[in-house]
Amino acid sequence: MANVQLAALRKVFGNNAPAVDVASLDIEEGEFLTLLGPSGCGKSTLLRMIAGLETPTSGDIRFNGKRVNRLDPAERNVAMVFQNYALYPHMTVAQNMGYPLKKRGIPEAERKVRIAEIAALLKIDQLLERRPRELSGGQQQRVALGRAMIRDPAVYLFDEPLSNLDASLRAYMRNELIRLRSKVKGTMIFVTHDQVEAMTMSTRIAVMEAGRIQQLATPDEVYERPATTFVASFVGTPSMNIFPAIAGPATGETRPLTFDDVTITVPASAVPEGPVTVGARPEDVLLRQGSRSVPVTVVESLGNEQIVTIDTGPRELVARVTTGPKVAIGETLTFDLNAEKLHFFSPETGRRLNAA
């Protein structure tokens, strides 16, 4: 296992804005850290620099305190798992898994023991004599994982490894990876644009935008206390409602918050007086409460919940409804916001204002 330290790491391609510009990032030994962000935010470039497949423009990468910038991938003791499993089609599962050991000259008897161990852990011991074309996508992904694990690498690097799988297999593999995390030694760095993968598997998430890390925190903290409006709208399905408002002068413990023609009361300590950007998660838009009546414009039913869009006039708000009678399109309902759970951001910088 290794702890991975990134210090002022930058990668610039040509005259473009930096693809990666990381102030600093300490990934602890045994951690499952996810780099989460939209397409083009630099997460694969960052991972490839850690792997040794891309040379940093400046900055340092250290494993256990030792600078590895100049080491090639093989010398770094990292294993990469990609979305295209890259298995050798002419080799059996056992041969695919054993290949990294064979290349290192490990004797066959020793290879066999190790293959059996890893295959049992990944529950692919029945498949060892098959070729990749005789496997399902999920089985192929497990073989690719097995091939990565067989060398006992210090650091695992995953580049969107689940994105080629269908929805149920992804859920299954997520579950498997969570289980494996406790059984396998090794620091894991996982790249994805899928917030569900990031939220469910990670010890911490680094949310990236335009080459920079916007927030580095546990999944709960990212959801409950997003550092910026970007993080707030990127994490959570449906996205957080984000809109401008004015916070009025405090009266004792509370102050008014006005948006459009609605005024609600919020804790005075949550937000300073003046213009503010408000964030309200769909579960904190409360229907059949408050006094303002608005029409329902869209209803998405998911069985156990409904995602309901209401039209407040100047904007639409999205609410998550899990209790009460079913909501129908065209219905008129009152709404309120859960004042204790609102998020406040600076209109200038987009950074979070409230501590609570």
Q: Which stretch binds ligand ATP (CB under 6 A): 33-41, 110-118, 138-146, 224-232?
A: 33-41
Is 39 a binding residue for ligand ATP by CB under 6 A? The answer is yes
Using CB under 6 A, pick the residue from 45, 187, 214, 306 that binds ligand ATP.
45
Question: Cα(230)–Cα(243) distance, rounded to whole angstroms?
Answer: 13
Is 9 a binding residue for ligand ATP by CB under 6 A? The answer is no
**Which CB atom, from 21 or from 31, has the smaller least distance to ligand ATP?**
21
> How many distinct helices (H) and strands (E) make up the chain?
8, 19
What is residue 324's three-state secondary structure? coil
And the tokens for 123?
């529950």
- Give, in order, the Cα–Cα distances in Å from 163 to each of 194, 210, 318, 322, 330: 9, 21, 27, 29, 37
DSSP alpha helices (H): ranges in 122-155?
137-149
Q: In the complex, what is the shortest distance from the CB of residue 42 to ligand ATP, in angstroms, rounded to a whole number?
A: 4
- Residues 171-200, interacting with ligand ATP (CB under 6 A): 193
- Residues 303-332, interacting with ligand ATP (CB under 6 A): none
**Which CB atom, from 10 or from 151, has the smaller least distance to ligand ATP?**
10
Q: Is 219 left (phi over 0), alpha (psi -120 to 50) or beta?
A: alpha
Using CB under 6 A, pick the residue from 4, 33, 43, 277 that binds ligand ATP.
43
**Which CB atom, from 38 or from 313, has the smaller least distance to ligand ATP?**
38
Size of the site for ligand ATP (CB under 6 A): 11
Question: Cα(264)–Cα(256) distance, rounded to whole angstroms?
Answer: 6
Using CB under 6 A, pick the residue from 6, 27, 41, 80 that binds ligand ATP.
41
First-to-last alpha carbon distance for the chain, in angstroms, is 36
Is 13 a binding residue for ligand ATP by CB under 6 A? The answer is yes
- Give, in order, the Cα–Cα distances in Å from 135 to each of 17, 175, 176, 310: 42, 20, 17, 47
Residue nearest to ligand ATP (CB): 44
Using CB under 6 A, pick the residue from 2, 4, 9, 19 that binds ligand ATP.
19
Q: In the complex, what is the shortest distance from the CB of residue 41 to ligand ATP, in angstroms, rounded to a whole number?
A: 4
